[in-house]
Chain A
Amino acid sequence: MPLRWRLATWWTLLQISIEERLVYRADFALGTLMRFLPIVTQIFLWSAVYSAVSDSHDGQIVGYTYHNMVAYYLLTMVSRAFSSMPGLASGIARDIRDGSIKKYLVQPIDMLGFLLVYRIAHKLVYYAVAAGPLALVFFLCRGFFDGWPDSTTLAAYALSLVLAFLLGFFLEATIGMIGFWFLEVTSLLFVYMLVSFFFSGHMFPIDMLPGIWGTLVRAIPLHYLAYFPAAIFLGKVQGSALVWGLVIQAAWVVLFCILSRVSFWLGTRRYSGYGG
């Protein structure tokens, strides 16, 4: 198929997915706004924690002041807006279980490509709807930031967010492919969600983890989903560490891109569809 036709197909798919996402826009906007509520309790919790920490640790926890910590939580919300893929792995596993995956096998369309475009459309709509509430929250909380970082840091931050999106997508897609081997993967997905929430840095900066735990978490890709972009913005990762971090993040993306492709190929070799 010529490239022009192929692009036209993906463009149409993107448009359809955007239309679909906008059907329940009021519910979607309300849900988006509600998602910001937990940050309120986090602000108060950390304010209370830091009020007790002041004397013994110079008002800092692992190099984070109270303002840094709140800024960190706000920034991880942005990271997660890029890297979280609700329903992706469970959707793939469900399609495998109920047989609807065969539509990708008989139609001239690549499943991973389709899901990626579909996800991009969902994210674009999400950013369009969330931009208002997000801007409001950041404006109200602007006092927690020390100002804008320099342009190089901002560029690195933007790149790390795009890589976080791709890593989140291919990582979850690979996990979804496990459905080819185990039909029921709900518990596995819950475990992944749990581990991801804790070790991605969504719950707290992973710098807080002591000793071997910190080393271990830095060795796995999860912290590139939330912690790494936020740490770049706050200037916690700089110089060669920043460059290496981005290179390793990109390497994880490539690895999971290949893994998802290989597991789909292997999975479809053993897949059997029955009935009509």
Chain B
Amino acid sequence: MWRYVRILITCARNSLVRDMSFRTNFVLETISSLSWVLMNLGFYVLIFRYAPEIGKGTGWGQYQFFMFLATGLLINSVVQMVFMINAEEFTEAVRTGALDFVLVRPIDTQFFISIRRFDWSALGNFLLGIALGVYALGKMGHLPTALQLILYALYVGCGIAIYYSLMIALAAATVWMGRNLTVLDFWFYITIFARYPMEIYSGPVGGVLRWAFTFVLPVLIVVNVPARMLLRPLLPQSTAEWMLPLFGLAATVACLGVSRWLFQKALENYRSASS
């Protein structure tokens, strides 16, 4: 276990050294991703000029929604920092046959291909997420309890794990497809549904989407559950509100398990591409 922690730290350090070797590029990338987030934030500020909340009676007012956005930012920035670049490199390694060099190493392949590179430029978004969250909580005059913060951290972790599972499963599909440049496209189009509070999916079609993206492909759990931990009263009003966090834990374990199984299956089918 300790060996794996040491390898993780080494990979993180090496990536930082690499990123710092191209400092201007690092600064530009950080500014680019921050600008993208700020522009999105500007869009929501515009919306709240015209509407007091997202969905009548849902309770997602401007600052509650900012807290939701902050949670999404924290989760997405960690996924971008640690896993996204590695998933891309994995798909390329399958195509070129470079995965052979990882398979012969005395280390768990999934672990190594998942943490080999760190994209430190996503750290800016992470810090912005914390700042936005603190600002939103301050504006609401809401001081979370220690238990709420612990549960929040736990469910942010669950969110990251669910996103990671989805990404690694999509990347593993490369082995069967030969070339899968659309991994990130798929990921983007699926996770787009998790960008908003689940209450917006109402009506017959919305109900089906909400059910499917909660229980089949649980991306709606990712941001909704942790954000609720800070915003909603800790004693839930309905059975559904009790069940969702519990289901969140089960869904995280299931996602990690299924993606692990898929990844192992993919490795069994890997045929290398070298001559």
Q: A residues within 8 Å of B by Cβ?
A: 27, 30-31, 34, 37-38, 40-41, 44-45, 47-54, 56-57, 61-62, 187, 190-191, 194, 197-198, 203-204, 208-210
A187 and B28: CB pair below 8 A?
A: yes
How distant is the Cα of A49 from the Cα of B206 in the complex, in angstroms?
A: 15
B36 interfacial contact with A, CB 8 Å: yes
How distant is the Cα of A204 from the Cα of B35 in the complex, in angstroms?
A: 17
Beyond the given A52-B56, A61-B51, A209-B46, please list 13 additional residue pairs across the A-B interface where CB-CB is below 8 A.
A38-B189, A44-B201, A44-B209, A47-B200, A48-B200, A48-B202, A49-B50, A49-B54, A49-B55, A52-B55, A53-B51, A57-B50, A61-B50
B54 and A40: CB pair below 8 A?
A: no
User: Which residues of the partner chain A approach B88 to less than 8 Å between Cβ atoms?
Assistant: none
How distant is the Cα of A208 from the Cα of B28 in the complex, in angstroms?
A: 30
How distant is the Cα of A252 from the Cα of B202 in the complex, in angstroms?
A: 43
A-B pairs with lowest CB-CB distance, top 7: A48-B55, A48-B200, A51-B56, A53-B51, A52-B51, A187-B28, A52-B56
- Indicate the size class of the contact surface on chain B: 20 to 34
How distant is the Cα of A114 from the Cα of B32 in the complex, in angstroms?
A: 32
Q: Is the interface of B mostly helix, strand, loop or mixed?
A: helix
A210 and B50: CB pair below 8 A?
A: no
Q: Looking at the assembled complex, report how far the CB atom of B64 sits from the nearest CB atom of chain A, in whole angstroms.
A: 13
- Contacts A34-B185, A194-B39 given: A45-B192 contact, CB under 8 Å? no
How distant is the Cα of A236 from the Cα of B189 in the complex, in angstroms?
A: 31
B47 interfacial contact with A, CB 8 Å: yes
B209 and A40: CB pair below 8 A?
A: yes
A44 and B36: CB pair below 8 A?
A: no
How distant is the Cα of A38 from the Cα of B202 in the complex, in angstroms?
A: 17
How distant is the Cα of A175 from the Cα of B153 in the complex, in angstroms?
A: 44
Partner of A194, one of B32, B52, B53, B199: B32
- Contacts A44-B206, A49-B51, A51-B55 given: A203-B196 contact, CB under 8 Å? no
How distant is the Cα of A191 from the Cα of B51 in the complex, in angstroms?
A: 29
Look across to chain A and name the residue whose beta carbon is closest to the beta carbon of B32: A190
A198 and B52: CB pair below 8 A?
A: no
User: Which residues of the partner chain A approach B206 to less than 8 Å between Cβ atoms?
Assistant: 44
B101 interfacial contact with A, CB 8 Å: no
User: What 0/1 readout, one digit per residue, does chain B (160-178) give for beta carbons within 8 Å of chain A?
Assistant: 0000000000000000000
How distant is the Cα of A210 from the Cα of B52 in the complex, in angstroms?
A: 17
16 inter-chain pairs at a CB distance below 8 angstroms, sorted by A residue, are A27-B182, A34-B186, A34-B189, A41-B195, A41-B196, A44-B202, A44-B206, A45-B196, A47-B200, A47-B203, A48-B55, A48-B58, A51-B55, A52-B54, A61-B50, A198-B39
A54 and B56: CB pair below 8 A?
A: yes
B56 and A45: CB pair below 8 A?
A: no
User: Which residues of the partner chain A approach B58 to less than 8 Å between Cβ atoms?
Assistant: 48
User: What 0/1 readout, one digit per residue, does chain B (1-36) give for beta carbons within 8 Å of chain A?
Assistant: 000000000000000000000000000100010011
B112 interfacial contact with A, CB 8 Å: no
B182 and A31: CB pair below 8 A?
A: yes
Look across to chain B and name the residue whose beta carbon is closest to the beta carbon of A190: B32
Look across to chain B and name the residue whose beta carbon is closest to the beta carbon of A57: B50
How distant is the Cα of A194 from the Cα of B37 in the complex, in angstroms?
A: 10
